[in-house]
Structure 1
Amino acid sequence: MSIQNPSDDKIKEVLHTSKRIAVVGLSGNPSRTSYMVSEAMQNAGYTIIPVNPTVEEVLGEKAVARLQDIEGEVDIVNVFRRSEHLPEVAKDTVEIGAKTFWAQLGVANQEAYDYLHEHEVETIMDRCIKVEHAKFK
């Protein structure tokens, strides 16, 4: 099955019903896209959970090394890693029971998409969460 994103209505619903976003690959460098996008989402009222083993804290939030280290529920796993890393992150997403997997603009992987689809995880790829959020304010 080829990668197909949900309808705009479904993406709007995901954004309006989600509260906690785990950001895989969130950089502590304010000039990086992952930081700017996550800061915008945090300013929009979402709780951001940095997932990066190389940082202690980002945007005032304690970082975790991997998704499995997060306490509590995760609504969206937002991924800022290269496409070839998506299958591994997809498996971790299913393992923690996150509702939505979101790969940022320019990031997509058929194997990860198929795996997530099989496990009934809402999957959005090659879209910027900040841009989509701005469309549906």
Structure 2
Amino acid sequence: MTFQNPNREEVKQLLENAGNIAVVGLSDKTDRTSYMVAQALQNNGYRIIPVNPTVKGEILGEKVYSSLQDIPEPVDIVNVFRRSEQTPEVAKAAVEIGANVLWLQQGITSDEANDIASKAGLTVIMDRCIKVEDSILIGKRS
């Protein structure tokens, strides 16, 4: 069966109900796409939780965690900035921590990650930019 992202109304509901967004592969370099996307989401009221094993301290004023399993609070969306071949492991971790959504950024797809996450009941979004979808579907939060 061919993968299909949720429709726009479903994506809008996921974003409206999201609080904590773990950003896997969030860079501390301000010129990186992951940083700019996370900053835009943070500026629009989402709680960003950076996940990057090579960065210590904080990114965007939030404590950086080495793995999803290290995050001590619930995560609604796992937003992924990693190469496609690395996403099945991220999907397994997202299932393990009880996330609701596995979101692979634009240009990232993985049938294996989709199978892992969707079989565990997570909603899967692939090859879409969360910042773009948020801008189109939500706009500026009050």
Q: What is the RMSD computed on CA atoms of the aligned residues? A: 0.6
1:19-98 mapped onto 2 (5 Å cutoff): 19-56=19-56, 57-98=58-99
Question: In the aligned structure 2, how far is the partner of 1:3 from the partner of 1:48?
Answer: 27
Question: In the aligned structure 2, how far is the partner of 1:94 from the partner of 1:117?
Answer: 9
Q: Name the residue aligned to 1:100.
A: 101
Q: CA deviation at 1:21?
A: 0.3
Q: CA deviation at 1:19?
A: 0.7
What is the DSSP-based 3-state SS (H/G/I as helix, E as strand, rest coil) of the residue aligned with 1:77?
Answer: strand
Q: CA deviation at 1:114?
A: 1.2
Q: CA deviation at 1:54?
A: 1.0
Following TM superposition, the consecutive aligned residue runs of length 4 or more in structure 1 with deviations greater than 4 angstroms are none
Conserved in 2, the CA contact under 8 Å of 1:2 and 1:110?
no
Structure 1 stretches of 5 or more lacking a match? none
Q: Name the residue aligned to 1:123.
A: 124
Q: CA deviation at 1:2?
A: 2.3
Structure 2 stretches of 5 or more lacking a match? none
Partner amino acid for 2:44? A
Q: Normalised by the size of structure 2, how large is the TM-score?
A: 0.95
What is the DSSP-based 3-state SS (H/G/I as helix, E as strand, rest coil) of the residue aligned with 1:49?
Answer: strand
Q: Describe the superposition over 1:79-101 as per-residue Cα deviations: whole angstroms up to 9, x where unpaired.
A: 00000001000000000000001
How many corresponding residue pairs? 137
Q: Normalised by the size of structure 1, how large is the TM-score?
A: 0.98
Q: CA deviation at 1:67?
A: 0.1
